[in-house]
A and B are shown apart, each in its own frame.
Chain A
């Protein structure tokens, strides 16, 4: 009743090919985007923007990246943190050495560098599959972080080795560094999120996405119908690393303000992998839901007792948080192995029938 597909006829090819064919979907997404652009900066508190929305949006980009590689192309990767680090370090390097370059160009450029590195580490995927590939990408995780720490060139020979994001602005508004307002940083990150999600969604339903999925579902069959595995797998690695690199650059520039190797360690790779699994493999929406769920659940569990006026010792809360977090992940994997995106789909199916289920 509320959500209907019946009776909506498409009368032109462009309408048929549109990304959001159902008007209700379209208006919902446009409305949400408009609200995120206009409403959130006006209404949301500083804490909500700076500590919740910015990191969740950035991690969503990383999850999108991993979802392209793992969810769409079926190549398991544990190198997400390293590709994020590549983006972060190279964004810093480019931003400080080519000072005239606008920051909105620096970040995609850093993403391209990460993509190049991703291609190099993607080469083994042509020979090895499954868990063995995961181990190979683990090598990227450890090697790249070691490299960035080892070679002081990446941090401009800074003695401390933990450089600070330089202040840069877009259209006269500072978006990185100390003077940037949270709203400016948020909108800057949001612009990347919208653009990258739009691109990802369109890639997924075009030739390149379909060839990824063919490789994922059965690589020999895909080869037989004329999909070349080399360009397909490498393109997935490149694009995935590009997304991760952009996410890493934004994380360093717009969130924690420093380029710090521990922010991109193996735990980050696992965190993003959990986001993709819990959110839903092979789903753009799932990347966002997963990122929000995995990042916010600990914070929610941590602050929940306070809202109800209970004061519980910090360490006890954290231990409860660990237990609940683990239990919830297991619960989700059992009850909904296809992730949160699938839950959303089920909700829509229900809405289609509501209020008259058979």
Chain B
């Protein structure tokens, strides 16, 4: 009748009493997985999660873990929702001796977890997404976004377009279209495009796609047909990508002038458009297909996801994500004791000191999948951010360029400026990396 509001609290207590679980310290590196296998983002989230989980399973089975320490992997379904991601993080972070490292797979969730994870001393590896300015390791000690940030990727995409058109001068007076998911993720590269547009004299039209109606893009593509942009660039995710590719094919847009970022160029994005998608391009940092040594090891292993996704762009990328973590754990063990459980803090140190040369990658059987990467205390993006461009030929993604380096001279000052603003608003004194 009256304010028995706190009945709510009692109810909540009853509901969640069991959820707290027992945090038993098992001998293993605990990897919580914030996956999304349902909802509008499932076509992308599922293969990614499968590749990620399978690689840990492979390391557990093939090598018996890292120096005998196995990985314990647990998934929590977020549906790509930020608040569910935060809830999953809180639910899982302390189990099994504490989370080793977290890959949120969502820019929104990454943003929400930066402070929490920093406080809990759990490193975040937002591999090629998330908060771009986290590349400044002095302000964001616990957040990593190698092998490249969105901003670097944006400059590399523009560099690629310039290469195609015959040099950076040729960009002058050109008009591009930028189609993006209206979400922190999609908006992330806009400031960089603004600066590039100013510097190189091109203009671009912004076409936000609201997440709630991302499969309705008719009006956007009619506008694009009218404005005839020289190139269309897309920052999409989930069902938005396949819709955009289909609509582009419908208006007979020249697909070789349509480039997605590396979350917008995978099999689920092009297959629904059929023949129409042939020629669509996308950035990437890992190869597709199964012609890599590591896939031979996967054969005959038990406990893997069903093999339908194997060799797809996102499955392979999920494996790369896991491989970075496995190597970080290995590095941490070398410093803090082989065959021992390493803490989040120790893995943080290792992530910051990752130095994988081409030979190291070869030894892992991941050549062509994992880019050679060097991370430093100052630079959490990796020291040479670059992209490959791949093109869909109707049956497979083919890599058609060599590494195209990002314009770090433009991006780095932006990163430092944004990080400095963050540090000031949050009373953080950037640590000394020298």
Which residues of chain A have a CB within 8 Å of any CB of chain B? 19-20, 25, 28-29, 32-33, 35-36, 40, 44-48, 50-53, 55-57, 60, 96, 149, 156, 158-164, 166-167, 177-179, 193-194, 197-198, 201, 255-258, 260-263, 265-267, 284-285, 287-289, 291-292, 296, 298-300, 302-303, 306-307, 313-315, 317-319, 322, 344-345, 348
Tell me if B132 counts as interface (CB < 8 A to partner A): yes
Q: Are A258 and B111 in contact (CB under 8 A)?
A: yes
Choose among A162, A167, A266, A314 the residue that contacts B212 (Cβ–Cβ < 8 A). Answer: A266
Residues in B whose Cβ lies below 8 Å from that of A52: 12, 15-16, 19
Decide if B188 is an interface residue (CB 8 Å cutoff).
yes
Chain A proximity mask over B110-134: 1 for CB below 8 Å, otherwise 0: 0110111011000000000001110
- With A159-B133, A161-B184, A315-B38 known as contacts, the answer to whether A60 contacts B115 (CB < 8 A) is no
Q: Are A317 and B77 in contact (CB under 8 A)?
A: yes
Whether B417 sits at the interface, judged by CB under 8 Å, is: yes
Interface contact A256-B9, CB-CB below 8 Å: no
Chain B interface residues (CB < 8 Å from chain A): 1-13, 15-21, 35, 37-38, 42, 46, 75-77, 79, 82-84, 86-87, 90-91, 94, 108, 111-112, 114-116, 118-119, 131-133, 182-184, 187-188, 190-191, 211-212, 414, 417-418, 421-422, 425-427
Nearest CB of chain A from residue B226's CB, rounded to whole Å: 22
Describe A's contact surface by its main secondary structure: helix
Shortest Cβ distance from A263 into B: residue? B82
Check if B1 sits within 8 Å of A285, measured CB to CB: yes
In the bound complex, residues from chain A placing their C-beta under 8 Å from that of B15 are: 52, 292, 296, 299-300
Contacts of A45 in B (CB 8 A): 20
Flag if B77 contacts A167 (CB, 8 Å): no
In the complex, are the beta carbons of A149 and B7 less than 8 A apart? no
* Cβ-closest chain B residue relative to A256: B112
Nearest chain A residue, comparing its CB with the CB of B130: A160
Docked pose: A45 CA to B37 CA in angstroms: 29
Q: In the complex, A82 Cα to B133 Cα: how many Å?
A: 28
Beta-carbon nearest neighbor of B107 in chain A: A162
Query: Are A167 and B427 in contact (CB-based, < 8 A)?
Result: yes
Given contacts A164-B425, A164-B426, contact A159 B414 (CB under 8 A): yes
Bound: A36/B10 CA distance, A: 9
**A178 with B12: CB separation less than 8 A:** no
Closest to A307 in B: B18
* Known A51-B87, A52-B15: A262·B184 in contact at CB below 8 Å: yes
Once the chains bind, are A289 and B7 in contact (CB under 8 Å)?
A: yes
Report the separation of the CA atoms of residues A28 and B20 in the bound assembly, to the nearest whole angstrom: 27
Which residues from chain B contact A166 at a C-beta distance below 8 Å?
Answer: 425-426
Q: Which residue in chain B gives the minimum CB-CB distance to A50?
A: B90
Distance from A232 Cβ to chain B, minimum over Cβ atoms (Å): 24
In the complex, which residues of chain A have a beta carbon less than 8 angstroms from the beta carbon of B76? 302, 314
Extra inter-chain contacts (19) besides given A19-B3, A164-B111, A287-B5, CB under 8 Å: A25-B2, A33-B6, A46-B94, A48-B13, A159-B421, A160-B132, A201-B2, A262-B82, A263-B83, A284-B5, A288-B4, A289-B8, A291-B8, A292-B12, A300-B15, A300-B16, A314-B76, A318-B77, A319-B38
For the complex of A and B, the 8 pairs showing the least CB-CB separation, nearest first, are A178-B115, A315-B37, A32-B6, A314-B77, A51-B90, A288-B8, A288-B5, A318-B38
Knowing A57-B8, A260-B184, A266-B212, the reply to whether A178 touches B116 (Cβ < 8 A) is yes
Q: Give which listed residue, B3, B82, B119, B190, contacts A29 with CB less than 8 A.
A: B3
- Kindly state the separation between the CA atoms of A306 and B414 in the bound complex, as whole angstroms: 45
Contacts of A35 in B (CB 8 A): 6, 9-10
Find the residue from A291, A296, A314 having the highest chain B CB count within 10 A.
Answer: A314
Measured between alpha carbons, how far is A198 from B426 in the docked complex, in Å? 34
By a CB distance below 8 angstroms, the chain B residues around A348 are 1
Selected contact of B2 from candidates A158, A285, A289, A307, CB within 8 Å: A285
Assess the B3–A160 pair: CB atoms within 8 A: no
Cβ distance B274 to chain A, nearest Cβ, rounded Å: 26
Across the interface, do B86 and A51 meet the contact criterion of CB distance under 8 Å? Answer: yes
**In the complex, which of the residues A52, A302, A313, A348 has the most CB atoms of chain B within 10 Å of its own CB atom?**
A52
Question: Of all chain B residues, which has the CB nearest A252?
Answer: B112
Nearest-neighbour CB distance to chain A for B145, whole angstroms, equals 12
**B3, B11, B212: which contacts A201 (Cβ < 8 A)?**
B3
Q: Is the Cβ of B9 less than 8 Å from the Cβ of A32?
A: yes
Inside 8 A of B111's CB, which chain A residues have their CB?
160, 162, 164, 258, 260
Question: With A53-B12, A318-B38 as given contacts, are A36 and B426 in contact (CB-CB < 8 Å)?
Answer: no
List chain A residues, Cβ under 8 A from B16. Answer: 47-48, 52, 296, 299-300
Contact present for A303 and B91 (CB under 8 Å): yes
Give the shortest distance, in Å, between B25 (CB) and chain A (any CB): 17
> Is there contact, CB below 8 Å, between A257 and B116?
yes
Closest to B21 in A: A306
Bound state CA distance, A358 and B131, in angstroms? 66
Q: Are A260 and B8 in contact (CB under 8 A)?
A: no
Docked CA distance A219–B129 (Å): 53
Shortest CB distance A281–B (Å):
15
Q: In the complex, which of the residues B20, B82, B87, B182 contacts A299, with contact meaning CB atoms closer than 8 Å?
A: B87
Q: List 30 A-B contacts (CB under 8 A).
A: A32-B5, A32-B6, A32-B9, A44-B13, A46-B94, A47-B19, A47-B94, A51-B90, A51-B91, A52-B12, A53-B9, A158-B421, A162-B131, A164-B422, A178-B119, A179-B119, A193-B5, A197-B3, A198-B3, A201-B2, A255-B83, A261-B184, A263-B82, A291-B8, A296-B11, A296-B16, A300-B19, A302-B77, A307-B18, A348-B1
Chain A residues, Cβ within 8 Å of B1: 25, 285, 344-345, 348
A258-B112, A285-B5 known; A48+B12 contact, CB < 8 A: yes
Interchain CB contact (< 8 A) of A160 among B6, B38, B83, B418: B418
Distance in Å from the Cβ of A51 to the closest Cβ of chain B?
4
The answer, among A167, A194, A302, for a CB contact under 8 Å with B426, is A167
B187: contacting residue among A29, A149, A193, CB under 8 A? A149
Which residue of A is nearest B18, CB measured? A307
User: Which of A158, A257, A299, A318 is close to B19, meaning CB atoms less than 8 Å apart?
Assistant: A299
Which chain B positions have C-beta within 8 A of A319? 38
A285 and B418 contact, CB distance less than 8 A? no
Of A164, A166, A287, most buried by chain B (CB within 10 Å of CB) is A164
Q: Which residue of A lies closest to B187 (CB)?
A: A161
Residues of A within 8 A of B422 (CB): 164
- On whether the beta carbons of A267 and B132 are closer than 8 Å, the reply is no
Give A35 to B8 CA distance when docked, in angstroms: 12
Residues on B with C-beta less than 8 A from A300 are 15-16, 19
